Amino acid sequence: GIEYIDSYVFNKVEYIRFNSTVGRFVGYTEHGVKNAEARNSDAGILGQEQGELERYCKHNADIDYSAILDKT
């Protein structure tokens, strides 16, 4: 399967991440945890991130797999 991860980094430290397998944001710092709670309670933001797996990942995976398979 395909997993979509959207990481947010500040000063080289990841503070929040959306993971499509989990289906929600996870915070890794105090600031990130607060951000994750806010984003997870916003259906619009959550839905947009969840849609990226279909919109971006699966679309591009099909193109990439075709390009690889055409060369074998």
* pLDDT tens per residue across all 72 residues of the chain: 788 999 999 999 999 999 999 999 999 999 999 999 999 999 999 999 988 887 777 777 777 767 777 765
Question: What local confidence, expressed as pLDDT, does residue 72 receive?
Answer: 58
What 3 state SS string does 4-68 have? CEEEEEECCEEEEEEECCCCEEEECCHHHHHHHHHHHCCHHHHHHHHHHHHHHHHHHHHHHHHHH
Question: What local confidence, expressed as pLDDT, does residue 66 receive?
Answer: 73
* CATH fold of the domain at 5-70: 3.10.320
Question: What local confidence, expressed as pLDDT, does residue 62 receive?
Answer: 73
Q: Spell out the domain ranges in the chain.
A: 5-70
